[in-house]
Amino acid sequence: MAKLKFYYCSLFFLIFNSAFSQNNKISSSDNDMRHDKIDSVIIVGKSKVREINESAYNVVSIDTKLLYNTTLSITQTLDRISGIKIRETGGVGSDSQISINGFSGKHIKIFMDGMPMEGFGSSFQINNMPVNLADRIDVYKGVVPIEFCADALGGAINIVTKQLRKTYLDVSYTYGSFNTHKSNISLGHTTKNGFVFQLNAYQNYSDNSYKVRTKLLDLQTSNYSTDEYWFKRFHDNYHNEAVIAKVGVVNKTWADKLLLGITLSQEKDDIQNANLMKIVYGGKERRAKSIIPTLNYEKKNLIVSNLNFSLTANYNIARNNNTDTLARQYNWNGEYRKKGTKGEGQYSLSEYDNKNALISVNLNYRLNEKHYFALNNLFSAFVRKATDAAANSETSNVSTFMQRKNSKNVLGFSYKFEPDKRWNTSAFFKYYDVNVKGPVNVSTTSTEVYEEKEKSFNTTGYGILMTYFLTSSFQIKASFEKAYRLPSERELFGDEVLETGDVSLKPESSRNINVNISYSNAWNNTHSVYFDAGLIYRYTRDYIRRQIEQRYGGAFYTNHGKVINAGIDFEARYFYKNKFSAGGNITYQNIRNMEKYDVGGRELIYYKDCMPNVPYFFGNIDANYNIHNLLGKDNVFSFGYNLSYVHSFFRDWKSEGGDIIIPMQLSHDLNITYTLKNGKYNISLEIKNITDEILYDNYSLQKPGRSFSVKLRYFFFNNNFK
C-alpha cells in the first residue's frame, strides 16, 4: 500500500486527468505506466510532477499527457485549475488573459522551457498552442523560483515541451463546429550515441461563425436598438501555423544537453469587433509572422562536483501588419454606410517589426544534503520599428515613427536549507534594472502632442518560503515576498491595433503572502483522496489596469494606485482504482481599490470598491469513468464531464453607478474517448457548452455557444534505452 500510495497522491496533480483519460498512461520521469496494470506497479522515487508539487512553492504541476486526446488548447487546460481564470475575447485564436488569484494580463509571466515568452509575437502564443505540445505545465500561484528570475507579480506559468528520450510519433486531426480544423504532428528521435531531433508542428483554422446576442446599429440614425438580437459573426476567420524544430546532443562529457532550435509561425486574424460587443468591423485584419532561433545548454558538475550550469537564449523577430482602410461603418447585419474618412476605426496600413533578445544564465550549487545555492541572471532587450503608409500621407501623428526600446535585467540569488526530508526553507533576493525609451503624450489639452522620452528604474526585491510535512499525508506551505513587475512591451507601446501604450507607466510593487495546506491518503489500493486549501494576500502599489475607451472600444493602460486582494481557493479529489475519479475546485478573491484620493486630492467615490470587470467567485467540477478491455484487450472507453461556474460581477465601478452586470455563467461539457491497442489509436468526441448558454468574458465579449468536435489521433513510441 505504501508504494501504491505514491501513485495515488501524485495522481491528483494531473488535476482533471481522468476527465480526459486519453491513452491511459501516466509518466513518471521517462517510464510509461498503463492504467490497466496499476495493481502491479511499483514506483521508485518521485516523478518530476510530484517533486514540484511537494516543493515549498505554491505550485500545481499538470502532466498533460492524459489530455492529448482532447481538443483543449493550453489556455483551456489552465482554465480548470483552482485560482485560475482565463479571459478570452472570442473563439479560436482570440486574445487570452490569464488571471491567477485576481492578478491578470501581464501580471502573470508565461515561460516555455524556462524562457519568457515576451516578444514571441501573436502568432506563437498559448491561446493557439495545442496541449499536445506540452509534456507538463507548472503553474506558480505565488513566489516564482529564482531559476526563472522573472519580474512576475501574480504568478507564473512554465510550459515544459516534450523532451522524451524515445523515438515517437504523435499525429492528430480535429474537426469541429464553426468550420474549425486543428492538426498537430509531434515526432522525435534520440540515438544511443546521444543525437537528438525533435519536431512539433500545428495548425489552427476556424470561421468562428458562431452567433452572438447584442444591439443593432441603425445606420440612418446612428442609434443603437434598445433590444438585443441574435447575429452570426461574419468577419472572424482565423488561421495560424507553427513549426518548432530542435537538434542537438545529450549525455556528452562536455554537455548534458545542447539543443539548437528554430520556431517559425504565422497567422491571419480577421478582427470582428473591438473591446465592446456592439462595435463591429467588416474589413479590419491583422497578420503576423515570427522567426525565433533558440539555444539551450546544460552541464552538471561543471568544474567542481554539484555545480550545475545552464544557459538559454533566443532572438525573436516578429513582423506584424495591421490593415484598416475601408471608409465604412458596419452593423451586425453586415450592412454598412460610407464614411467621409478612411478606416473603420483609425485608418492604418501599419507594418512594424518587434525584435526581442533574451538570455538567461543559471548556476546552482549543492554544498551538501542540507545547503543549496542558486544564482540567475535574465537580460532582455526589445526594439520596435514601425512604418505606416496611412500615417505618412494622411495624419500628423509623428509618434508612429518615434523609437520604442525597452531593456530589462533581473539578477537573483537564493539559498535553500533542508535539514531533513520533512521541512525546508528558502530565501531569495532580486535586483531589477530597466531602461525604456518611446513616445509620451505631453499635451495638457485634448490634442495629443508626443515627445520622445527616456527613463530608467532600478530596485530590489526579496522573499522567504517554507514547507513542512506534519505527517506523510499532511503538508503546509507558507511564503512572503516583496516583488516588482516591470511594464511589458505591450503596455508600454500598445499593439498598434486596438491598444494604446504608455511609456510613462511605473513598475508595480507588491507585498504577497501565501499559505497552503494539503492532505493526501490512500486505502486498500482502492480509494485515494486529495485536499488542498490556500490563502492569499496581496498589497499592490501602482497597479497597472487595462481600461476600455467606451466610445470606440479601444484599450489603454494606467497606473491605478493601491489595490488589496485577499482570497482563498480549495480543491478536492477522489479516485477509485483506475476506473472512476471526481473532483472540483472553488476560488474566492476580494480584490478592492484602496486608492482614496485622485491626483487632485479629491476623495474617490469608488474607494474600497471591488475592482471592476474581475470575476471574484468561480469554480469547476469534473468526473470521469473508464471501462477497460472493451471489445479487446488494452482498449479503454472513457466518459467525462466538466462543469464550469462563474458568479456575476460588475463590469464598471459600482459606486459610479455602474449598472452593467456580467451575469452568472454555468456551462457543461461532455467528452467520450475510445483508445485501442494500448493508446496507439484514439478517437474522441467532445460537446462543449451543452445547454448553449450565453457565455461572456472581457467587457461582455461573448464566447462560442454549443459546439461539437471529433478528434482522431495516432501515437507510436519506442524506448531507445531499455
- Indicate whether 467 pLDDT > 50: yes
For residue 283, the SS3 value is: coil
Angle at 134 between CA 132 and CA 139, to 5 degrees: 130
Work out the average pLDDT over 633-659. Answer: 87
pLDDT at residue 5, rounded to an integer: 36
Question: If residue 243 lies in a helix (H) or strand (E), which one and from where to where?
Answer: strand 238-252
* Listed residue (378, 375, 467) closest to 429, CA to CA: 375
| DSSP E strand boundaries for 448-579 | 450-469, 474-485, 499-500, 508-523, 527-541, 544-548, 555-559, 563-576
**pLDDT band (50, 70, 90) for residue 446:** low
State the pLDDT at residue 302.
Answer: 92
- Residue 157's pLDDT is 86
Cell digits for 167? 523515438
pLDDT average, residue stretch 573-593? 91
* Residue 668 and residue 642 in contact, taking contact as beta carbons nearer than 8 Å: yes
Determine the pLDDT at residue 36: 34
pLDDT digits (tens, 9 = 90+) for 489-533: 777 777 766 677 778 888 888 899 999 999 999 988 899 999 999
pLDDT tens digits, 166-194: 788 999 999 999 999 999 999 999 998 98
- Phi/psi at 227 (5° precision): -90, 165
Average pLDDT over residues 259-285: 90
Cell, residue 365: 550549487
Mean pLDDT of 406-410: 91
Q: What cell numbers appear for 352 in the block?
A: 512594424
| Mean pLDDT across 536-547 | 85
Q: What is the C-alpha separation between 499 and 713, in angstroms, rounded?
A: 39
Query: What is the spatial distance between Cα 683 and Cα 147, in angstroms, rounded to a whole number?
Result: 39
Q: Kindly list the structural domains of the chain, giving each domain's residue range(s) and its CATH number in brackets, ordered by start.
A: 2-719 (2.40.170.20)
AA identity, residue 264: L
Task: For the chain, give the mean pLDDT.
Answer: 83
Q: Label residue 105 by pLDDT band (50, 70, 90).
A: low
Supply the pLDDT for residue 182. 95
Return the higher-pLDDT residue of 15 and 459. Answer: 459
| pLDDT at 346 (0 to 100) | 77
Cβ count within 10 A of residue 29: 12
Residue 549 has pLDDT above 90, yes or no: no
Percent of the chain with pLDDT over 90: 43
Reported as a pLDDT band with limits 50, 70 and 90, residue 107 is low
Nearest of 266, 237, 273 to residue 92 by alpha carbon: 237
What pLDDT digit, counting tens, does each position of 672-695 carry?
Answer: 999 999 889 999 999 999 999 998
Percent of the chain's residues with pLDDT above 70? 85
- Contact yes or no for 558/545 (Cβ under 8 A): yes
For the ranges 22-31, 386-395, 455-464, the one whose mean pLDDT is highest: 455-464
pLDDT tens column, 27-57: 333 333 333 333 333 333 456 667 777 777 8
Residue recorded with cell 471574484: 616
What is residue 139's predicted lDDT score, i.e. its pLDDT?
Answer: 86
